Amino acid sequence: MSNEKTARFGTKQIAMTAALLAVCILSQVFKNLSIFITGPIVNACLILAVLMVNLPCAIILGIITPITAYIITGGGVMAAVPIIVPFIMMGNIVIVVMTFFLIKKEMREPKDMIIRIHKYVVAVVSSLAKGVFMGITISLWLLPTFIPEQSPLRGKMGVLQTTFSLYQFITACIGFIYAFLVWSAMKHVNMD
């Protein structure tokens, strides 16, 4: 029965994924204010998609959110280096897949102290994996390679590299905290 639930891709799963996408889009409107507003909310929605819906829906959400961010913000580094979008998608998929394989089962089991500590450690490791992946592919390779020398973005290279590495780790950690709080509040709601 458990495998049947995780494999479903019906109306309810689409509706829940759409609701999480709506939250992501709403948060992306505030992206220009601070990455620490949008980033944690998007990461929390990705994690909640794994916990509440299923892996395919979470992956789809992870693919769609960079596209909506590109459409909503429309400028900056994404406009200068559009190839960054697939790498943001892959960073989202890293955290989604790690959450599915390393945390989802524990979130459904009875809580003892070891499981509680383990899920937080795994959350930090999953956040670090996303930050490292994006740091290597975007900060160390894409940005230095594809931002033209004459671009004004070259003067912001340090900030951009921090944004796509360290800040990805931090916002993913905060996203896990948000997701765990929401999951904790909703775990008694029937998600079948």
Torsion sign (Cα): 88, 89, 91, 95: positive
The answer to whether 81 touches 108, Cβ cutoff 8 Å, is no
Structural domains in the chain, CATH included, are 2-186 (1.10.1760)
Rounded-to-integer distance, Cα 60 and Cα 92, Å: 10
The answer to whether 123 touches 40, Cβ cutoff 8 Å, is no
- The interaxial angle of helices 35-48 and 84-102, nearest 10 deg, is 50
Q: Is the pTM of this model over 0.85?
A: yes
In a structure prediction context, what are the per-residue pLDDT tens digits for the chain, which is 192 residues long?
Answer: 344 454 567 889 999 999 999 999 999 988 778 899 999 999 999 999 999 999 999 999 999 999 999 998 877 888 889 999 999 999 999 999 999 999 887 776 656 666 678 889 999 999 999 999 999 999 999 999 999 999 899 999 999 999 999 999 999 999 999 999 998 888 766 554
What's the per-residue H, E or C state across the chain? Answer: CHHHHHHCCCHHHHHHHHHHHHHHHHHHCCCCCCHHHHHHHHHHHHHHHHHHHCHHHHHHHHHHHHHHHHHHHCCHHHHHCCCHHHHHHHHHHHHHHHHHHHCHHHHHCCCCHHHHHHHHHHHHHHHHHHHHHHHHHHHHHHHHHHCCCCCHHHHHHHHHHHHCCHHHHHHHHHHHHHHHHHHHHHCCCCCC
Neighbour count for residue 153 (Cβ, 10 Å): 16
